[in-house]
Amino acid sequence: MKRIKNYWPRTKNSRNLLFFAQVMSELTSFNSWDNYRAYSLDTISRLRDLEKVLEGVETEEIKKKYIPDVRDEALWSLLEDPVVERILQDQKQRLISHLRGNNVDNTDLLYATQYIKDLLLRDYQSKAEALIMEVFHGPYK
């Protein structure tokens, strides 16, 4: 964890609050190892991983046999992430079924992945923050 530059009080409560803030920062950072990131906040990273694998298959740097595992992980994340539900709403099932399709070639899968990622990137942070605030304060307006 990185050290905070500003003065931080040396009380037990302030140390606990600082630790909580550092853990949340680590869980939501794109630079953290995948194993340390929070699953519900990791959908965009999983889509980026799928995008990189598909690009690697096109350039023949990665074998095609790895696509299903990475795709399944991204699909799982899309299905379980409540922020995705709020952003994609009615489009969610149609987009997911396109990613699930076995007859979809790699190029179409790559474009679909990029499209979903772009849709999510626009509002993901604000929707995630609103959802977190709802946990503490009720519906966020």
Angle between helices 92-100 and 106-137 (to 10 degrees): 140
pLDDT at 4 over 90: no
What mean pLDDT is predicted for residues 106-116? Answer: 91
Indicate the Cα dihedral angle 95, 97, 98, 100, nearest 10°.
Answer: 130
Mean pLDDT for the stretch of residues 26-37: 62
Q: Where are the domains of the chain?
A: 9-34, 42-137
CA dist., res. 114 & res. 104, Å (int): 15
The C-alpha torsion from 28 through 30 and 34 to 37, rounded to 10°, is 0
| Interior angle at CA 8, CA 2 and CA 9, nearest 5 | 145
Q: Is pLDDT at 141 greater than 80 in this prediction? A: no
pLDDT score for 94: 87
Is residue 38 pLDDT above 60, yes or no? no
